[in-house]
């Protein structure tokens, strides 16, 4: 019974957790003692397994071996081959968003963005504002041409009046709590207007199902509305896919802070993690993390050989970002082989290592491994066996979100500019192309990067000192 009980625990708590949690299921087994699990005398280890299964709603039913032919067939028979299928059926119509790529190249960028990401129409905006209680109060005062003298709540709402105009509701520049206005350095600015649900969907569901802090930091850089922190927290906590897929254990400790860099590409940390095999047989993932900017890349590989590591380093990092001054990893054979040592000697790279059985020595990579597993669990069920095809999108979402350690996005610290995200088109934050001298742009770019580098380095040092005290 012990082996069957272990198999049940592993399958329900690890393999199929996101499918079974919150669902009523029936377990059929040809092991008769396992069907009496609720009344059996269990040892210490079995009690721990039973405690892990307590959050699942399941019933164990006994099925004799002669009647359990479906399980025997799955375990003993093998398919002779898979039929060739056309990836696209004849006559299949592409989605409207994909057809936009065939537009005329002379179309203006702002016009194409508005077509690809339509905002609320004036009629929809008028209906939303007419249903808002605060807008109704303000509309009364606009008609009377007077300022209220009572009701403290109305006073607080009326402070937004200078940014509004009596243009029938749909043309108001700043939007009250029911809607989210665009935010700039000077305050509210008129422009794109959309519902909070649209914005939260773009920055959470369509941006990798990231946590509360990362989603909130991404949103703070782009817009503002009263109570935004509470709304983001509530939205993430009510996300069904996040609650089912992500572990609900105690919060993980932050990575140790002995690795301190002063610039991007100074220290490159790398590590391997293993995932569920894809349809093509890929299960190994090589993770490369820039210690200063936290910019991370991950590549699915067929093995963990030193030749594979060397090929990925040269083709995917050295040729695109330059050669780092130091590479940090554990003492695995993949990172300590003769080929890797020759690569370090050829490129004059310094090598540092973690102590044996001490994974926190490579905290940046180890923490990202857990984040990567959480992000992959949020994929739809139809894409879980093709996670290698989803890696670029998940990494883009991770790298374009502000990191908790630096308060800046890894993309910005690595390249010196923020990328354009779908939520930027939704909020109307896409800037029109402007001309100017290259020298002026370089000076502004250097000043902006220097300020970001100083702030990130200061926060990294403070975090390292705090972790050392703890």
Nearest by Cα to 431 from 187, 113, 185: 113
Residue pair 286/297 in contact (Cβ under 8 Å)? The answer is no
Model confidence pLDDT, tens digit, residues 42-68: 888 888 888 888 888 888 888 877 776
Model confidence pLDDT, tens digit, residues 416-444: 888 888 777 777 766 666 666 677 767 77
Alpha-carbon gap, residue 5 to 15, rounded angstroms? 14
Across 14-23, 35-44, 279-288, the highest mean pLDDT is recorded for 279-288
Burial class (CB in 10 A: 0-12, 13-18, 19+), 226: exposed
Q: Write down the pTM of the prediction.
A: 0.53
Across 197-201, 253-257, 313-317, 431-435, the highest mean pLDDT is recorded for 313-317
Structure token pair of residue 390: 């989803």
Q: Mean pLDDT across the stretch 333-352?
A: 92
Q: Mean pLDDT across the stretch 221-231?
A: 80
Express as a percent the part of the chain with pLDDT over 70: 67
**Mean pLDDT of the residues in the chain:** 74
Task: Please report, for the chain, the start and end positions of each structural domain, with discontinuous segments joined by +.
Answer: 2-75, 110-245, 267-401
Q: What are phi and psi of 361, to 5 degrees?
A: -65, -20
CATH 3.40.50.720, applies to 267-401: no
Spatial CB neighbours of 134, under 8 Å, sequence gap ≥ 6:
157, 176, 177, 178
361 pLDDT higher than 90? no
Q: List 273's β-bridge partners, or say none.
A: 285
Alpha-carbon gap, residue 303 to 234, rounded angstroms? 41
């Amino acid at each position: 019974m012990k082996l069957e009980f272990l198999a049940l625990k592993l399958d329900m708590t690890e393999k199929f957790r996101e499918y079974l949690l919150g669902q009523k299921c029936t377990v059929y087994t040809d092991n008769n003692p396992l069907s009496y699990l609720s009344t059996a005398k269990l040892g210490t280890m079995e009690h721990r397994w039973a405690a892990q299964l307590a959050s699942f709603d399941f019933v164990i039913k006994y099925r004799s071996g002669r009647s359990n032919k479906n399980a025997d067939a799955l375990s003993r028979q093998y398919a002779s081959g898979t039929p060739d299928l056309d990836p696209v059926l004849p006559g299949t119509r592409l989605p409207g968003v994909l057809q936009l790529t065939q537009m005329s190249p002379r179309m203006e960028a702002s016009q194409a963005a508005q077509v690809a990401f339509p905002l609320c129409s004036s009629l929809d905006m008028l209906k939303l504002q007419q249903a808002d209680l605060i807008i109704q109060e303000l509309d009364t005062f606009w008609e009377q041409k007077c300022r209220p003298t009572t009701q403290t709540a109305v006073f607080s709402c009326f402070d937004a009046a200078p940014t509004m105009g009596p243009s029938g509701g749909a043309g108001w520049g700043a939007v009250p709590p029911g809607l989210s206005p665009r935010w700039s350095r000077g305050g509210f600015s008129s422009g794109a207007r959309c519902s909070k649900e649209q914005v939260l969907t773009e920055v959470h569901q369509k941006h990798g199902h990231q946590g509360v802090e990362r989603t909130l930091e991404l949103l703070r850089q782009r817009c503002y509305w009263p109570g935004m922190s509470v709304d983001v927290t509530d939205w993430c906590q009510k996300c069904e896919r996040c609650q089912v897929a992500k572990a609900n254990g105690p919060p993980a400790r932050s990575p140790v802070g002995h690795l301190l860099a002063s610039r991007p590409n100074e220290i490159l940390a790398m590590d391997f993690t293993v995932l569920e095999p894809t349809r093509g047989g890929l299960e190994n993932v090589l993770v490369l993390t820039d210690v200063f900017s936290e910019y991370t890349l991950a590549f699915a590989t067929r093995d963990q050989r030193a030749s594979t590591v060397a090929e990925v380093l040269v083709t995917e990092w050295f040729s695109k970002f330059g050669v780092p001054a130091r590479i940090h990893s554990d003492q695995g054979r993949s990172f300590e082989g003769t080929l890797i040592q020759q690569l370090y000697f050829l490129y004059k790279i310094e090598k540092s290592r973690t102590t044996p059985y001490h994974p926190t020595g490579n905290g940046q990579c180890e923490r990202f491994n857990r984040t990567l597993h959480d992000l992959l669990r949020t994929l739809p069920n139809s894409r879980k066996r093709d996670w290698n095809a989803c890696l670029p999108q998940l990494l883009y979402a991770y790298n374009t979100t502000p990191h908790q350690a630096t308060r800046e996005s890894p993309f910005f610290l690595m390249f010196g500019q923020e990328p354009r995200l779908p939520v930027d088109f939704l909020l109307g934050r896409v800037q029109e192309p402007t001309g100017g001298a290259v020298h002026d742009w370089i000076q502004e770019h250097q000043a902006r990067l220097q300020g970001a580098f100083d702030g990130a380095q200061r926060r990294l040092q403070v975090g390292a000192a705090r972790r050392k005290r703890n």
